[in-house]
Amino acid sequence: MKQIVFDDEYFNIVDTLNCGQIFRFRAFDDGFLVFSKDKACFLRQNNGVISITVNEDDENYFYRFFDLDRDYKKINDFAKSDGVEIVKKSAELGKGIRILNQDAEEMLFSFVISQNNNIPRIKKSIEFLCREFGRKKTFMGVEYRSFPTANELVGAELSQLKEAGLGYRAEYISGLACKIASGYSVESLKNFNTDDLRAELISLKGIGEKVANCVLLFGFNRYDSFPVDTWIEKVYKEDFLGEFTSRHKITAFFMERYKDYAGLIQQYLFYYKRSLEKR
């Protein structure tokens, strides 16, 4: 076991886990277990310090996973200086949000499931897939399951997938698993520039512009992407008083405005808007 220690001024565990970018974590002891791919780590926050407990071999993976090299102060300050009130407020509330560098393949499957769905249900479906098709692992004495590989998913019957509550998305998951298992390399996509990669992702069945932007942001570490979902659409209409109706144009509007900072500011806005109307 090894510990990564990090100042918590721009790292809040609860906000980072609950802002809708990650679906696999659970409260444990005085912190949280977080799962990615076949790996796990344990996060705690006290006395102004985040401590991340990892297996020796996973230190580099989770250092990158939690985006520990990025200057969050710079982006947060920029957002707080924005002329639109909700951007300032969301940056204050979301100051501790970090964009996680998650596994690209896991993000592909996860965000295909996310379409026209809600976060609690997405979590349940993913938990089911891990429990049913992932491998059994233990970390700090706790049992968990790895996220199933494409090879593990491709063996599943459609009827099995539907037990996960995937609905019509089951066919997308099955198709994607089949494509990857038969040689399509997600890894090699990392060499694409952002626009080419977005186009490539959209060409996959079950992935449109919004999901592609989520995968770009959370799975490929591309901050120059701005997913527009129902909440962001509300922000655009209610707080920016925008006139565009198509999500494509709304995305373009925010991309032009925030450029390389778009990804994090999008998370600020999503988390803030959703927290207002959820209770």
Partner DNA sequence: GGCCAGGATTTAA
Partner DNA sequence: TTAAATCATGGC
Q: Which residues bind DNA (CB under 7 A)?
A: 19-21, 114-122, 162, 165, 167-168, 202, 204-212, 214, 227-232, 245-249, 266-267, 270, 274
66 DSSP 8-state letter: T
Complete DSSP assignment for 123-163: HHHHHHHHHHHS-EEEETTEEEEPPPPHHHHHTS-HHHHHT
In the bound complex, what is the minimum distance in angstroms from residue 59's beta carbon to DNA?
A: 26
In the bound complex, what is the minimum distance in angstroms from residue 176's beta carbon to DNA?
A: 10
In the bound complex, what is the minimum distance in angstroms from residue 121's beta carbon to DNA?
A: 6
**26/135 with CB nearer DNA:** 26
Residue whose C-alpha is closest to residue 106's, from 153, 170, 62, 74: 153
In the bound complex, what is the minimum distance in angstroms from residue 243's beta carbon to DNA?
A: 11
Angle formed at CA 98 by CA 133 and CA 225, multiple of 5 degrees: 85
DSSP E strand boundaries for 8-48: 25-28, 31-36, 39-46
Helical ranges in 137-236 per DSSP H: 150-154, 158-162, 169-181, 194-202, 209-219, 230-234
In the bound complex, what is the minimum distance in angstroms from residue 210's beta carbon to DNA?
A: 4
**151/230 with CB nearer DNA:** 230
What tokens appear for 178 in the block?
């089949």
**167/242 with CB nearer DNA:** 167
Q: What is the amino acid identity at position 99?
A: I
4: burial class by Cβ within 10 Å (0-12, 13-18, 19+)?
A: middle
Instruction: Answer for the pair 186, 108: CB distance below 8 angstroms, yes or no.
Output: yes
Angle formed at CA 118 by CA 252 and CA 116, multiple of 5 degrees: 55
**10/172 with CB nearer DNA:** 172
**54/104 with CB nearer DNA:** 104
**46/184 with CB nearer DNA:** 184
In the bound complex, what is the minimum distance in angstroms from residue 216's beta carbon to DNA?
A: 11
Question: Exposure pattern of 10-44 as b/e (b: 16+ CB <10 Å)?
Answer: bbbbebbbbbbbbbbbeebeebbbbbbbbbbbbbb
In the bound complex, what is the minimum distance in angstroms from residue 165's beta carbon to DNA?
A: 5
**153/207 with CB nearer DNA:** 207
